[in-house]
Amino acid sequence: MRAGGTPALPIPAETKLIASTSLFNFPPTSTVAEIEDAFSQLPETEFKQVAFVILKRLRKAIQLPPLREFSEAQICGWIKEDERDMSALRVEKY
């Protein structure tokens, strides 16, 4: 528990390792604003390490939709349509 009865947030092992090797000694953080502030003060190398840990956790937590597949004919059709639209805009502009 933190001061004021606020429970401490669990910290992944990777984060504990990063924090223990830090050149800075940050006090425990309890709000998003404090965490963001501490994160912004990290040296670039440690910033990247923490960001990587967060991205790994997000990748596990978020279900991405399946990739959409488009045929070459569909893509060519879209390109031709865009080119027609751009030509029409150029004609209207002058």
Quick: pLDDT tens for 7-65. 555 655 555 545 444 555 666 667 888 888 888 899 999 999 999 998 888 888 888 78
pTM of the model: 0.37
Number of domain units in the chain: 1
> Residue 89 sits in which domain range?
3-93
The number of CA neighbours under 13 Å toward the Cβ of 77 is 5
What is the secondary structure of the chain as a DSSP string? --GGGPPPPP--HHHHHHHHT-SS-PPP--SHHHHHHHHHTS-HHHHHHHHHHHHHHHHHH--PPPPP---HHHHHHHHHHHHHHHHHHHHHH-
Backbone angles phi, psi at 38, to 5 degrees: -65, -40
